[in-house]
């Protein structure tokens, strides 16, 4: 038999993760009730308070004014370290576009095809990653456009 408290803790964490929640995001109670809790058995429902207490004591969530929000520790628990994922997505987008030197990144398409799938840690790393790629000479930023350089072409192909 599975542990109902652990089940509920996973449900709460999973709910935040599915919504790509960042620090301070509040659990939307009506949606949680409708999408999750109505499918729980009685033991799981009875374990909600204990699960909230444990997640609070672990620092994963905090409760203020009867609202549950995710903490920085919660975000770190949910999402892996960014590593090279943002860099790889930017360069992968140029590869998928069969880009050559001077090719301008279609920021709207990039946002819809890549960034909408990112978690908050990846979104927060975007500007620093762009700056590093510019510093390394892989891309350049001119006239408010991001474009691939000759060095960038050699890097990705």
Question: Tens digits of per-residue pLDDT, 87-101?
Answer: 999 999 999 999 999
Residue 132 belongs to domain spanning: 85-156
- List own/partner pairs for 38-47 with CB under 8 A and 24 or more apart: 40/7, 40/8, 40/11, 41/4, 43/4, 44/4, 44/7, 44/8, 46/4, 47/4, 47/5, 47/7, 47/8
State whether 48 and 105 are in the same domain.
no
Tens of pLDDT, residues 117-153:
999 999 999 999 999 999 999 999 999 999 999 999 9
Together in a domain, 42 and 66: yes
Q: Does the pLDDT of residue 81 top 70, yes or no?
A: yes
Which domain CATH number covers 91?
1.10.10.10
Residue that is last in its domain, among 52, 78, 104: 78
How sure is the predictor about 1, in pLDDT bands with cuts at 50, 70 and 90? low
**Domain final position from 78, 99, 132:** 78
> Total domain count for the chain?
2
Q: Both 24 and 71 in a single domain?
A: yes
The answer to whether residues 13 and 73 belong to one domain is yes
Q: Which helix (H) or strand (E) holds 40?
A: none
pTM of the model: 0.83
Question: What's the mean pLDDT in 52-74?
Answer: 97
pLDDT at 50 over 60: yes
Of 45, 78, 111, which residue is a domain's last? Answer: 78
For residues 7-25, average pLDDT: 97
Are 66 and 90 in the same domain?
no
């Amino acid at each position: 038999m599975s542990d109902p408290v652990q089940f509920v803790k996973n449900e709460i964490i999973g709910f935040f993760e599915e919504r790509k929640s960042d620090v301070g995001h509040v659990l939307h109670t009506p949606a949680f009730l409708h999408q999750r809790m109505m499918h729980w058995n009685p033991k799981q429902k009875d374990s909600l308070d204990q699960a909230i207490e444990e997640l609070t004591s672990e620092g994963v969530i905090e409760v203020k004014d009867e609202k549950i929000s995710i903490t920085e520790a919660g975000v770190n628990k949910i999402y892996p370290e960014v590593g090279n994922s943002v860099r790889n997505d930017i360069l992968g987008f140029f590869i998928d576009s069969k880009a050559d030197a001077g090719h301008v990144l279609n920021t709207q398409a990039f946002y819809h095809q890549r960034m909408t799938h990112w978690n908050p840690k990846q979104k927060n790393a975007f500007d620093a990653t762009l700056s590093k790629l510019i510093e390394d000479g892989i891309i350049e930023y001119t006239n408010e456009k991001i474009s691939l350089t000759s060095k960038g072409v050699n890097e990705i192909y």
